[in-house]
């Protein structure tokens, strides 16, 4: 009779002790820090107390794989201030849709830029954040579009508050569900969620800064919203970076997308909650190196 080696038991115990919020083994640690200014500029020192992450090398490609960081890449930051969750993205992108190109439309989709449930909020250069705050999922569950699980969009060249030509937040998925659409729009209009998208003054690309209120956007239990008093708390997380360039560069891809890269998940499955990674919310500041 064979015996299990002690080191295997130790590894198994450590794995079981980790409370993941998705089935993808990737995580981000989010610590408490100072409150940043949402102005589309990453000022010196503004995110020194944030966790830094990088993309899109090693991310999951939905369309044409990204092979050059000058084509598409990012430096990301995440932290909270005890009341709001903050993401910032410094994005390098060689061609900006609607700025370096005209605002071409994908064939067969004349309502692409309508700010309605028939429009495509994610068409353009854009970021998406998906959070599963209550940490529950089934095999085929997508975000429902409420404080427990949601998917929102920040587009560089259109927004709910600014209209066409002004970057910012748009209602994400499932936008065809009226309740989700209404919730997302309320969050934007009441500033429960804010985002600024701005072209960088030097280099080629843009910056997004994104703020998310714990209440009503991070509902860990029905009617209960995250606070630092809860201690270390796991939440499901996924992040997408979408890239529209000249129409010819997205030939053969849905809606002419050139790239769409996801922090976690398999191709065609990346919006399922089980495909998310994990964001650990910590009550304290980032440990000193």
Of 87, 75, 56, 83, give the one whose Cα is nearest residue 242: 56
H-helix segments, the chain:
6-17, 178-189, 214-217
Give the Cα-Cα-Cα angle 31, 235, 29 (nearest 5 degrees).
30
Q: How far apart are CA 150 and CA 158, in angstroms?
A: 20
Biggest alpha carbon distance in the chain?
A: 71
Beta strand 219-221 pairing with 205-213: unpaired
2.60.40.1190, 3.30.505.10, 2.30.42.10, 3.90.180.10: CATH of 27-285? 2.60.40.1190
Beta strand 277-285 pairing with 27-32: parallel
Tens digit of each residue's pLDDT, the chain (289 residues): 333 334 333 333 344 345 666 688 899 999 999 999 999 999 999 999 999 999 999 999 999 999 999 999 999 999 999 999 999 999 999 999 999 999 999 999 999 999 999 999 999 999 999 999 999 999 999 999 999 999 999 999 999 999 999 999 999 999 999 999 999 999 999 999 999 999 999 889 999 999 999 999 999 999 999 999 999 999 999 999 999 999 999 999 999 999 999 999 999 999 999 999 999 999 999 998 8
Omega of the bond leading into 95 within 30 degrees of 0 (cis): no
């Amino acid at each position: 009779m064979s015996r299990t080696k002690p080191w295997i038991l130790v590894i198994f115990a450590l794995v079981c002790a980790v409370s993941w919020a998705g089935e993808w083994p990737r995580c981000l640690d989010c610590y408490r820090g100072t409150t940043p200014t949402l102005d589309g500029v990453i000022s010196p020192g503004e995110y020194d107390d944030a966790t830094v992450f990088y993309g899109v090398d090693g991310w999951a490609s939905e369309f044409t794989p990204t092979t050059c960081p000058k084509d598409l890449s990012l430096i990301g930051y995440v932290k909270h201030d005890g009341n709001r969750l903050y993401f910032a993205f410094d994005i390098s992108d060689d061609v900006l849709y609607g700025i370096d190109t005209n605002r071409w439309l994908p064939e067969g989709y004349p309502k692409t830029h309508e700010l309605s449930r028939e429009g495509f909020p994610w068409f353009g250069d854009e970021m998406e954040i998906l959070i599963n705050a209550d940490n529950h999922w089934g095999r085929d569950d997508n975000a429902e579009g409420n404080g427990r699980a949601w998917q929102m969009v920040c587009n560089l060249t259109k927004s709910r508050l600014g209209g066409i030509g002004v970057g910012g937040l748009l209602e994400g998925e499932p936008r065809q569900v009226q309740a989700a659409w209404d919730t997302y729009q309320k969050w934007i209009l009441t500033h429960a969620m804010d985002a600024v998208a701005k072209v960088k003054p030097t280099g080629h690309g843009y910056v997004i800064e994104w703020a998310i209120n714990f209440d009503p956007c991070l509902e860990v239990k029905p009617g209960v919203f995250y606070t630092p008093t809860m201690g270390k708390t796991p939440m499901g997380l996924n992040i997408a970076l979408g890239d529209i360039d000249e129409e010819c560069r997205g030939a053969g891809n849905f809606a002419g997308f050139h790239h769409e890269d996801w922090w976690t998940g398999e191709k065609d499955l990346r919006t399922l909650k089980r495909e998310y990674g994990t964001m650990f919310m910590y009550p304290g500041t980032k440990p000193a190196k």
